[in-house]
Amino acid sequence: MPDDPSTAIRILVVDDHTLFRRGLMALLGRDPLHQVVGDAADAGQALRRARELQPDLILLDNHLGGVNGVDAIPALREAAPQARILMLTVSEDGDDLAAALRNGASGYLLKTMEGEALTQAINRVMAGENVVAPEMTGKLVMAYRNAANGTTDPPTVDKQPASLLTLLTPRELDILRAITAGASNKEIARQFAIAETTVKIHVQHILRKLDVSSRVHAAVMAAESGLL
């Protein structure tokens, strides 16, 4: 995207903690490709601001003073149909993750992440990807398993044919198992006594062979195929 305010991603920040919300707005404001057009402290205000501003992306906390952000997603999508919704929360609850994706969120991130990783995640979401915090990957897989057992509805993440797993080498399968368990690249490198850059190369090969755009999709495929 060019460095032009008219092409910047227009963001609405929704969080009930004033200091965190203002800090997040300041952080995002450093990037000329991200334009914070408004903020809100609760679900009702978020709906009004979303309807008024029609942002490209809504950064949404889950705890909004009596209302869970995941429950507000359908109304926000109706208020701003073109907006993508990205959860940014402290909740590591698997049910919240599944509900967010099922209700139409494009991603689920944790507030412990680095600022640079957040800006990259925003760009990936606007490019059409689904993003999930690495720490939550294992819980996403569990949500799919529960869905397969009929205990929950599946999150809205595209599925791919599990037969593609046969294209992976034994080492790539090992790394995919680790990804599905929620391990980061650094943890995988330590587990297999290889360099982190080598892990990144393996991950790139896995995504290419499986024809998916993210680790999340690859992990879901692995879970559906019974790889674990």
**Per-residue pLDDT in tens (0 to 9) along the chain, 228 residues:** 444 556 899 999 999 999 999 999 999 989 999 999 999 999 999 999 999 999 999 999 998 877 889 999 999 999 999 999 999 999 888 888 888 888 888 889 999 888 888 998 899 889 887 788 877 877 776 766 665 555 555 554 444 445 677 889 999 999 998 887 777 788 899 999 999 899 989 999 998 888 876 777 787 777 767 665
Q: Do the domain assignments include residue 143?
A: no
110 touches 133 (CB < 8 A): yes
Contact in structure between 108 and 101 (CB atoms under 8 Å): yes
Residue 144 lies inside a defined structural domain of this protein:
no
d(C-alpha 28, C-alpha 32), whole Å: 9
Question: Within a domain: residue 142?
Answer: no
User: How much is the pTM?
Assistant: 0.69
**Is 96 a domain residue?**
yes
**What range does the domain containing 179 cover?**
158-225
How many structural domains is the chain composed of? 2
The counts of H helices and E strands in the chain are 10, 6
